[in-house]
Amino acid sequence: MSQEYSTPPPGVGIQVVNSSADRLVMAIPPGGKRARGIGCFGFVWLAITAPVSIIFLSVDAENWDGGEAPPLLVMIPFFSLFWAVGIGMIVVWVRMRFTEIFLSVERDQFTIQKRLFGRKKLKKIPLDENSHAELVESYQQNDVPVYAIQMEGIGETEKFATGLSYEEKRWLATTINRFLGVNGPSTSDMSKAGSLPQYCGDCGSELMIGEGKRVCPDCARVYLEDEHQAGEVFDVDPGSRRAQTAAALQNFGSRIIERPPALDPYELPQDSKVRIDLDDGETLAFSYGIQVPLILKCITGTFLTVFCLFWYGVSLSSVIFSVLSDEPIGIKIGATLFASVFLFVGLMPLGMLLGLFFGRARLQMRREEITGSIGFWFLRKKKTISTESVSDVGLSSTSVKHNDEIRTIGRFAGLKGCTIKSSEFNMPLTFSSDAQFNEQVAGLARFQLERLGVKLAND
């Protein structure tokens, strides 16, 4: 007999392979929200460490200012620490980026298999009635805790899924705990607070006992003795700006308020801002210039222009100075490589600046997948979703629904844009005050999806 679980949140694509009364099997693909950030930071760290260490280790003793050069027995261990940190981050990135995880949960046993480049690592942990999954702090990034899932067994624990988003980790912990019946009442729970559980069903943390309730210290879920209110989610401070913003962002851009009719590419007006790149029946590809509100373009463009001028002015000056200096060739090469790292890092703000004024958005819709890209030249960012995951296409608004009340947020509240709704993640296509332009983009997308046989929501 299979059990039904909620749909996994968008991310790496967690799959429930098997769900029955006796066994729950889930597959976690490689990747994760934090894998890319750690990898980029690790490569930049090594890109800076390499030229700096080359410079210091290649300088002759007579070229050191103020005295003799430090002995190699001191410099090599010193730079080895920086190399170890960089290599360690690359190792962590490789594991996050390429490790596949398979979980098997039974009443008396938890099994985790990790597969990296064909090599498998299997671990089994015995379970009892007190076993549960919880979110524990793995490390901190910019003073913000990053959690991992910890499975508590009999005398053993196992941490995994650090690279996933918080929503994915929370869903995994909730699903595992639901299968194990963590939310169910126990004798110890009954004696302490009626029928209230001891651990949170969402994140697995041990609940704090209050008068007639229990509160999760991590996700702020509250369990009340009233069976009609048990399990209802409350924010610790519902009136706080942070709580209101979080609630709003959860619903941001997800509400389709208008569905324009399908638009055949051959019916597109000649003066349209949209350009058809390919239409062969199976594939529709079209592009258009990035539409940004004027005030946002002016503010953002001014900031990025000043930043890029300063950044590249300093970086290029450093490269020229390194090349023209009278230093030995080893120092020249090291200094040039070091300065070149900053030129590479500056491509991100430069790409944003060029994309703001000259960039184009492109949408390619095929039977298997939909790929959207935005940017300028080779400085482009791409996102892909499967065509079968699409449920709706239409015009959305920055208005959000919170506590059954429609609100607007931000300076551009009420500004409409075209959005593709998908079970993987919502793909915004436009953000413009030009209603005709928004309707044309939405109409083209609806036409191709209907031509491919995708059933869309209609008014």
* Residue matched to tokens 């790496």: 12
Q: Contact at 8 Å (CB) between 222 and 233?
A: yes
Percentages of the chain per state (helix, strand, coil), in multiples of 5: 35, 30, 35
> How far is the C-alpha of 414 from the C-alpha of 20, rounded, in Å?
46
Q: Which two tokens stand for residue 307?
A: 């930043």
> How far is the C-alpha of 380 from the C-alpha of 273, rounded, in Å?
20
In this prediction, residue 249 carries a pLDDT of: 39
> How far is the C-alpha of 257 from the C-alpha of 198, rounded, in Å?
42
> Where are any strands of DSSP class E within 43-165?
100-106, 109-116, 119-126, 132-141, 144-152, 157-160
Q: Is 357 helix (H, G, I), strand (E, B) or coil?
A: helix
In this prediction, residue 190 carries a pLDDT of: 34
The three-point CA angle 35-36-37 to 5° equals 95
> Where are any strands of DSSP class E within 331-450?
360-365, 369-376, 379-386, 390-397, 399-402, 405-408, 416-422, 427-428
Phi, psi torsion values for 287, nearest 5 degrees: -140, 165
Q: Which two tokens stand for residue 2?
A: 């299979």
In this prediction, residue 211 carries a pLDDT of: 58
In the chain, the largest separation of any two C-alpha atoms, in whole Å, equals 81
**Residue stretches of the chain with pLDDT short of 70:** 1-5, 32-34, 58-71, 141-144, 183-254, 327, 330-331, 397-415, 459
How do residues 352-372 score in pLDDT, each as one tens digit? Answer: 888 888 888 999 999 989 999
Nearest to 304 by CA among 239, 361, 354, 241: 354
pTM, entire model: 0.47
Give the H/E segment covering residue 180.
helix 166-180
Sign of CA dihedral 410, 414, 418, 421: positive
Where residue 388 falls (left for φ over 0; alpha for ψ -120 to 50; beta otherwise) is: alpha
> How far is the C-alpha of 434 from the C-alpha of 31, rounded, in Å?
38
Q: Contact at 8 Å (CB) between 39 and 90?
A: yes
| CA count, 13 A, side-chain hemisphere, 246 | 12
Phi, psi torsion values for 325, nearest 5 degrees: -70, 165
Dihedral over alpha carbons 53, 58, 64, 68 (to 10 degrees):
100
The three-point CA angle 83-84-87 to 5° equals 80
Nearest to 304 by CA among 352, 344, 341: 352
Taking only Cα atoms into account, the Rg of the chain, rounded to an integer number of angstroms, comes to 27
Phi, psi torsion values for 262, nearest 5 degrees: -60, 140
In this prediction, residue 49 carries a pLDDT of: 81
> How far is the C-alpha of 90 from the C-alpha of 94, rounded, in Å?
6
In this prediction, residue 276 carries a pLDDT of: 93
